[in-house]
Amino acid sequence: MERTTPVIPAQDVAKQREYCQEIRAINAQHAQAPTAFVDTYGCQQNEADSELLRGMLCEMGYEIVHDGEHADLILINTCAIREHAEQRVFGNVGALVHGKRRNPNQIICLCGCMAQEPHVVERLRQSYQHVDLVFGPQVLWRFPEFMRRIYLRRGRVFETAPAEGAIAEGLPVRRSGKIKAWVSIMYGCNNFCTYCIVPYTRGRERSREPEIILSEIRQLVAEGYKDITLLGQNVNSYGKDLGTGMDFPTLLEQANAIEGEFLLRFMTSHPKDATQRLFDVMAKCEKVAPCIHLPFQSGNTRVLSAMNRRYTREQYLDKVKALRERIPNVVLTSDVIVGFPGETTPEFEDTLSLIEEVRYDALFTFIYSPRKGTPAAEMEDPLSREEKSANFNRLVEAQNRISLEKHQAYIGTIQHCLVDGESEDPRNNLNARTPGGRLVHLNGDVGLIGQFVDVKITDYSTWALFGELI
């Protein structure tokens, strides 16, 4: 078997880095380094993409800043998963026209999933003339090339043609912290859930070579990173395009064997591909965190079929049972959509009963948002917005109660936590995370940040735990 995903030739990536140096030489002629602000919306994959974009900007000679008000370059990495996110982006992009008037040399860029939606691209082209560069996720690796064209003043640049995508290695990265790190193991999605725009914006599934992934993890551990998350739209599909027999559980085993004190997390897992072998590997690998994000989306089998999720309510519950048999203390989180087109209130009751049966530690809950170009956007949707909101509120109320009860059960336990930053809670100066990812507020020396410590849990709320150092 041979790899089915194209890999960008090393010389093509090297050419992009040459463009970075060319731009850097131009920037060096100024009295001070130009500044760049990268604003990220959406999922963890977008966060990882933004770290690559910051890496390239640093090679171009930009200084990264955390406020775009006076930045010489503003890059907005967008999300198209819900209408609200799109409208926020349009609002913020529109407001940038004032800064552009004050500084005509300012460069404004937009990338991410919205840049692969034809109606969005046309709107940007016609109504947002102050935007200089628009490009999609599949050509992110060519960002220096696009910037060079901007520098040479060849007009506005739009690189948004549909693309299946490829793998580009060797890009620079500027990570946002020193404790936690994202590692993309694959890109794209083949599932085509009827409500989701991602397969249309990010292309087909394509996996990075395992040796490259493991080398990146080793380097991160050597640099002191303690919490490493493996990313993919569906990590359980990892390796299918490699033609080597490599799969995600095997990759986890090999990552777990890397020497050092660190935790491995991963997201997202599609339930249809979450196997008994995955659960077995999670249970036996001491560095794999005892937590999993397993989106169920709906508790009703008919709605799941309409969503093209390719599992039933019963199959999902069987997988949760098998998971908890292997890892009794597993922290389980999920996504759920309320008000999918055609969902009735009795069918919503099945969702409500499922969360009562499973008892998730936390849920990410959404009212259905139609995405232009997806099959669900054309489905009949008779339930009123008011009825959907009422159901949504019932769901949130139920989950908040369950989360509170789950957190109450931590009282008196000892948790081996990673201290990952300073807290905004006025009563505690540090934040930490349990192995399962639960937030813990505590007091201690800031020198503990980046270390694993034992914490006795003394109090709780719906959203967090409170503890004291042992």
Considering only residues 165 and 300, tell me which one the structure prediction assigns the higher pLDDT.
Answer: 300
* CA distances (Å), origin 201, targets 14, 27, 274, 378: 26, 33, 24, 19
Q: Could you tell me the pLDDT band of residue 154, with boundaries at 50, 70 and 90?
A: confident
- Assess whether pLDDT exceeds 90 at residue 108: yes
Provide, rounded to the nearest whole percent, the portion of the chain with pLDDT above 90.
93
Q: Which residues pair with 288 in a beta bridge?
A: 264
Domains of the chain: 10-159 (3.40.50.12160), 180-408 (3.80.30.20), 414-469 (2.40.50.140)
Q: Which of 249, 245, 253, 254 is nearest to 211 (CA)?
A: 254
Q: Could you tell me the pLDDT band of residue 2, with boundaries at 50, 70 and 90?
A: low
Beta-strand pair 439-442/430-433: antiparallel
Instruction: Supply the pLDDT for residue 297.
Output: 98
Half-sphere exposure of 404 (CA within 13 A, CB side): 8
Q: Could you tell me the pLDDT band of residue 1, with boundaries at 50, 70 and 90?
A: very low
pLDDT in tens, 159-204: 998 877 889 999 999 999 999 999 999 999 999 999 999 999 999 9
Sign of the dihedral through C-alpha 223, 45, 403, 406: negative
pLDDT in tens, 126-136: 999 999 999 99
Residues 75 and 59: beta-carbon distance below 8 Å: no
Residues 157 and 132: beta-carbon distance below 8 Å: yes
CA distance 38 to 36: 7
